[in-house]
Amino acid sequence: MALPSPISVTPDALVHIKALLDSRGKPSEGIRLGVRSKGCSGLSYTLEYADEASGFEEVVELEDGVKLLIDPKAMMFVLGTEMDYEVTNMEEGFIFRNPNEKGRCGCGESFHV
């Protein structure tokens, strides 16, 4: 029996993850999701290219062989999160709907759990 995925990725986010990987110009294992200390609320999400998996990361297999690697230090902060991609009149980018968040700063750049 397969365990449920620790994070869900919307079709819009998947399209943009694929575009990032395709435009990189060199092979990648996938995209790595992490969190770091930043901003007035304490934590912010990070995304970076992953050249290889560390062995300790949670690997989420998406469609077409695309992989999202979750940094082990971020797992407890992102469990149950939905990753999406939105375009508005003012900005576009990845957004995270995290049920673990207890608050978010006014500018939306950081969160705390």
Locate the domains of the chain by residue range: 7-102
Handedness of CA 80, 54, 84, 44 (dihedral sign): positive
Model pLDDT for residues 64-109, shown as the tens digit of each residue: 889 999 999 989 888 999 999 999 888 888 988 888 776 555 455 5
| 7-102: CATH number | 2.60.300.12
In 3D, which of 113, 7, 107 has the Cα closest to residue 62?
7
pTM over 0.85? The answer is: no
CA torsion angle for 29, 35, 37, 40 (degrees, to 10)? 130
| Cα–Cα distance, 87 to 46 (Å, whole number) | 19
